[in-house]
Amino acid sequence: MIIENAERVLESHRLCDHCLGRLFAKLGRGTNEERGRAIRFVLNMERSKRGLPPIEEPETCELCGNVFERIPELIEGMKSAASGIEFETFLVGSRFPGEIREKEEAIWKEFGIDTAEPINREFNRELGKAFGRATGKDTAKNPDVVFIVEPYSGKIEVQINPLYVYGRYRKLLRGIPQTPLPDFEDSIASIICRAFSRAFGGKCVFKGAGREDVDVRMLGNGRPFIVEIKRPKRRRLDLDAIAREINASGKVEVLNLRFVSPKEAEEVLTRNHRKEYLALVRVDDGVTPEEAEDVARKLKGLEIHQRTPWRVRNARADRVRVKRVHEAEARWLDEKHFELRLVTDGGLYIKELVSGDKGRTKPSVSHLLGKSAWCERLDVLNILDD
């Protein structure tokens, strides 16, 4: 039936071996060109036996216009399009004119062909294999670059897939926002992204796993963050060298830099971390060592109902969040100050936990003391992984 179907098609359409073999792409092994050549050879033997002339491969294929002969030229175009871009893996996609796809599907329908594959699928495969042989690069499901080729016009578009780098940052000074703000010369994001953009030759987007206030330091093991480098021209760089450049700022330190997948990056940013804080509490009405210890004892294990703080009401949804204080220790300093070391659920606002935020946070340190208190200084000591 293969030979009979092939003869019927070739008596009506002048097809090259690629387009002939592609009609039977789901049968057997080998390339479509090899398949088409074998089918034509056997068919012509049968025709010779019946005293009929052979049906040779046409000078110009009426379906594809011999587009597969353009592969060497397109490879040179792909090399040129990727000049200056560092990559090891790639994929190829193509854009074929709609009339060619329509004509191909019309042939399938006309002759009841259900074993074919589309022309763009074969073309992508053959161009990809040829480009790999010519450059030594490999194909991959999640490649460094994707080439989108228009076979007839020769137009080639290079899509450079982003890179993702995980790290943790320590903010050593107060007065630095996490992301750029008016009236601030620098931010955590700008200090980190300057180094990454310069090294990779792409646009850097900083994403922190939560944030601390401008006047709060981030110490200890650092806050997890992701940098996404869009359209990087370089991909294989020494992350330790980038870390040294950032750390030389004296304002920010980065730790544990490593490349991650998009999925890992998303998990870092959506994971809910417990946090360890050190708060300096001021009580103008005075506080004794016993009162400080009593507050810490009552806070430990306490469930906190916290309505969105007044100071961030325009940036956060106004709702009540239920969080827990897991650990609390107090160290009395003087008649108006004591330190609180706290381990809490992520998302609990510590300044408001101390002050009570005019009753929006219940209970609070002020409530437990029975007198007004506020957070005079705050540090994040550690971000605790699950």
The per-type count for the chain, helices as H runs and strands as E runs, is 12, 14
On whether the CB atoms of residues 38 and 130 are closer than 8 A, the answer is no
Phi first, then psi, for residue 293 (nearest 5°) are -65, -40
Helix or strand (DSSP H, E) at 52: none
Q: Which two tokens stand for residue 261?
A: 């997948």
Task: List the binding residues for substrate.
Answer: 277, 349
On whether the CB atoms of residues 351 and 363 are closer than 8 A, the answer is no
215 is catalytic: no
Nearest by Cα to 104 from 81, 123, 85: 123
Task: List the binding residues.
Answer: 277, 349
Cis peptide before 363 (omega within 30 of 0): yes
DSSP string, 248-302: TTSSEEEEEEEEE-HHHHHHHHH---EEEEEEEEE-TT---HHHHHHHHHHHTT-
Catalytic residue among 144, 186, 213, 215: 213
Residues identified as active-site: 213
